Amino acid sequence: MSLPSLPEVPGTEPGRCVLDSFRISIAKRVADALGPPLTVEKVYEGVDYGKKGVDFTIALPRFRLPGKIDDLAKKVTESFQADDFISSVQHDKAFLHFMCNTASLTRAVLTQVHTLSHDTPSQKPEYGSNTSGKGKKVVLEYSSPNIAKSFHVGHLRSTIIGAFLANLYQACGWDVVSLNYLGDWGTQFGLIAVGFEKYGSQEELQKDAIKHLYDIYVKINADATKDESVKTAAAAWFRRMEDGDESALSNWRVWRELSVKKYEEEYARLNVSFDEYTGESKVGKEWQDKALERLNEMGLISDIEGAKLVDLEKWKMGKAVLRKKDGTSIYLTRDIGGAIERYEKYNFDKMIYIISSQQDLHVSQFFKILKLMEFPWADRLEHVNYGLVLGMSTRKGTAVFLDQIITEAAAVMHEQMRKNEEKYAAIEDPEYTSLEIGITGIKIQDMAAKRINNYNFSWDRMKSFEGDTGPYLQYAHVRLASVARKNPEIFPLPPPSEIDTSLLIEPAAREIVFLLGTYPDVVKTALKTHEPSGVVTFLFRLSHAISSAWETVVIKSEADVEKKKARMWLYLCARDVLGAGMRLLSIRPLDRM
């Protein structure tokens, strides 16, 4: 069956999103019926998803045409002719509702999913991707913990959302550079150096650098509050570091390296990676000095007892210190210099910082300063922020390290799975499985709502297989994988052209097909909003549709082999899309549990 030919509409990619064709077909009918000045492109923008069983809807008033809405609607309905794309139109007040031809919809969607999907999870999701970012480069900075301080849930959120955005931009054809901007510089390293002389142990350091440096930091900080001389010694030490004194730097270098190594292992467990571990220590002096000079010329700098402050009151961004009394640099100045260096290095079309909303002011300050410095690329910077996570502590107390969070998630999940002895006995690798499901639980809870919302973390919800949770999603994927394993006699399936999709007549099957068709749009929308929640919502809708199909779209007890094959194909396509969506969220879909 070949579908009628259609005009091209800029921004659409029917070869990757077949629903684009159905929308273009609607747009063409309406544009033809209503005539100029309306164009296919213009109508296309107004073809929205319908509600309650309607495929697509157009709200006529949006075109601001002369004449009565009823008359306009009549023109469309009277000239309407069903074809292989669209089977019906219905006029309801200001709206026109359209239904797609089920047979061609089913065939077109499943064929596209089949053609563009990969079964191997290591491959990037293909169905759902588009080429809108082709030739463009985006730099993404996320996670960015501080060496020797705790890895808090805020860093975890940045890691999870950042990994999602990296996958998303890649899926949309962008060239992605991912950076982890470590907090590896600043006065606290002077403090730790002093602390290391007093409390440091090479053995502990080799065992777990992140933990040991943190312990030292806590101890020496306590000392510093009681003893002023500790602070003075720390400041002097950091001064030497800033001056490039090798004797003051050699220990620090080892700490950084060991910490990165440990982090890399943990990120790998989370299915997260970076192209580069950069950090505050890597930002050169040159641009930090120039920034100060430039702002000084603009009359925005005031000198308060030797410290340099920039006055951003005019833009309601307060006053911010750019340089300390002793001349050492600070966080804000390093972000300014860092951005300039990154532009010189990467020549990006866009750079996104994934940083907690607690730092909104800081980010708006350094973005503003870069604009004041008149860098033409300053408006290519974006801040993706997010709210707080409340109440994520382990049973032993507050989690301060990433590995504690991961271990706890795995343990909580493992315990939960043990409760069902029979099922537990059937799990091949309970350690791995509980770790993956636990991590999925954390990620889903994190991405389920709009980023900016604070949320209360709950271990009970994380581990539950009921409701919209990570374990539920993994379970839905496992069930799709197992239906294939349980019906080996119908494999290998014939090529798509030989599968009789007209046998898929159940409403539950159509529901799944349509949802699969919408996935490329879900990806597109996520790119606009930078919200993972839309993808999460989609995956739950799809899982629910699949779970309600099990009763009517059966395989095992179906006598007709052709029907069995068509249904199996539907489920395999559903699995591909569910898996693609999960991978986009950085989740590894499981085939067994």
- Selected catalytic residue, list 42, 118, 149, 262: 149
Q: How far is the CB of 192 from ligand ARG (least distance, A)?
A: 15
Least distance (Å) from ligand ARG to the CB of residue 375?
16
Long-range contacts of 241-246 (CB under 8 A, 24+ apart): 241/185, 241/189, 241/190, 241/193, 242/327, 242/328, 242/329
φ/ψ of residue 306, rounded to 5: 90, -20
For the window 440-479, what string marks contact with ligand ARG as x by the rule CB under 6 A? Answer: ----------------------------------------
Tokens coding 409: 């998630």
Are the C-beta atoms of residues 513 and 571 closer than 8 Å to each other? no
Question: In this chain, which stretch among 138-146, 304-312, 455-463, 467-475 interacts with ligand ARG, using CB under 6 A?
Answer: 138-146
In the complex with ligand ARG, the residue whose CB is nearer, 280 or 408, is: 280
Contact between 181 and ligand ARG per CB under 6 A: yes
Rounded CA-CA distance 462/406 in Å is 13
User: Which whole-number Å values give the CA distances from 426 to 154, 429, 432, 434, in the listed order?
Assistant: 37, 9, 14, 13
Q: Choose the catalytic residue: 91, 97, 155, 463.
A: 155
Indicate the residue among 141 and 242 with the shorter CB distance to ligand ARG: 141
State yes or no: is 544 an active-site residue: no
Does position 183 interact with ligand ARG (CB under 6 A)? The reply is yes
Is 184 a residue that touches ligand ARG (CB under 6 A)? Answer: no
Which parts of 464-506 fold into alpha helices (H)?
Answer: 470-485
178 contacts ligand ARG (rule: CB under 6 A): no
Q: Answer yes or no whether residue 20 interacts with ligand ARG by CB under 6 A.
A: no
Q: Does 151 bind ligand ARG (CB under 6 A)?
A: no
DSSP secondary structure string, 240-268? HHHTT-HHHHHHHHHHHHHHHHHHHHHHH
Shortest Cβ distance from residue 411 to ligand ARG (Å)?
26
Nearer to ligand ARG, 80 or 348 (CB): 348
Per CB under 6 A, the segment of 2-10, 141-149, 222-230, 551-559 that binds ligand ARG is: 141-149
Amino acid at residue number 263: Y
Q: Candidates 49-57, 143-151, 259-267, 408-416: pick the segment binding ligand ARG (CB under 6 A).
A: 143-151
Look at phi and psi of residue 163 and say left if phi exceeds 0, alpha if psi is from -120 to 50, else beta: alpha
Q: Does residue 152 carry a catalytic annotation?
A: yes
- 290 near 302, Cβ under 8 Å? no
Q: Which is nearer to ligand ARG, 40 or 355 (CB)?
A: 355
- Nearer to ligand ARG among residue 73 and residue 283 (C-beta): 283
Kindly state the smallest distance separating residue 332's Cβ from ligand ARG, in Å: 9
Residues 346 to 375 in contact with ligand ARG, rule: CB under 6 A:
353, 355
* Nearer to ligand ARG (CB atom), residue 94 or residue 400: 400
**Of residues 310-339, those binding ligand ARG (CB under 6 A):** 335
Q: In the structure encoding, which two tokens stand for residue 344, read together? A: 């010189």
Residue written as token pair 């002023």 = 228
Q: Is 589 in the site for ligand ARG (CB under 6 A)?
A: no
Q: How many CB atoms lie within 10 A of CB 34?
A: 19
Say how far apart CA 297 and CA 305 lie, in whole Å: 19
Q: If we measure between CA atoms, which residue out of 307, 192, 189, 279 comes closest to residue 242?
A: 189
- Nearest 5°: the CA angle 426, 428, 429 is 130
Q: Distance (Å, rounded) from C-alpha 234 to C-alpha 228?
A: 10
Report which of 471, 464, 447 is spatially closest to residue 537, judged by C-alpha positions.
447
Q: Per rule CB under 6 A, is residue 144 in the interface with ligand ARG?
A: yes
Instruction: With CB under 6 A as the rule, give the number of residues binding ligand ARG.
Output: 9
User: Binding of ligand ARG at residue 188 (CB under 6 A)?
Assistant: no
Q: Which is nearer to ligand ARG, 144 or 271 (CB)?
A: 144
Structural tokens at position 234: 């720390």
Residue from 91, 97, 152, 564 carrying the catalytic annotation: 152
362 is catalytic: no
> By three-state DSSP, how is residue 499 classified?
coil
Nearer to ligand ARG, 55 or 141 (CB): 141
> Which of the ranges 70-78, 142-150, 518-526, 576-584 carries the binding residues for ligand ARG, by CB under 6 A?
142-150
Nearest to 369 by CA among 304, 302, 290: 290
Taking contact as CB under 6 A, which single stretch among the options 39-47, 85-93, 137-145, 499-507 is the one that binds ligand ARG?
137-145
CA distances from residue 10 to 14, 19, 45, 116, 592 in whole angstroms, order as listed: 11, 15, 11, 22, 42
Residue least distant from ligand ARG (Cβ):
183
Q: How far is the CB of 144 from ligand ARG (least distance, A)?
A: 4
Binding footprint of ligand ARG on the chain (CB under 6 A): 141, 144-146, 181, 183, 335, 353, 355
Active-site residue set: 149, 152, 155
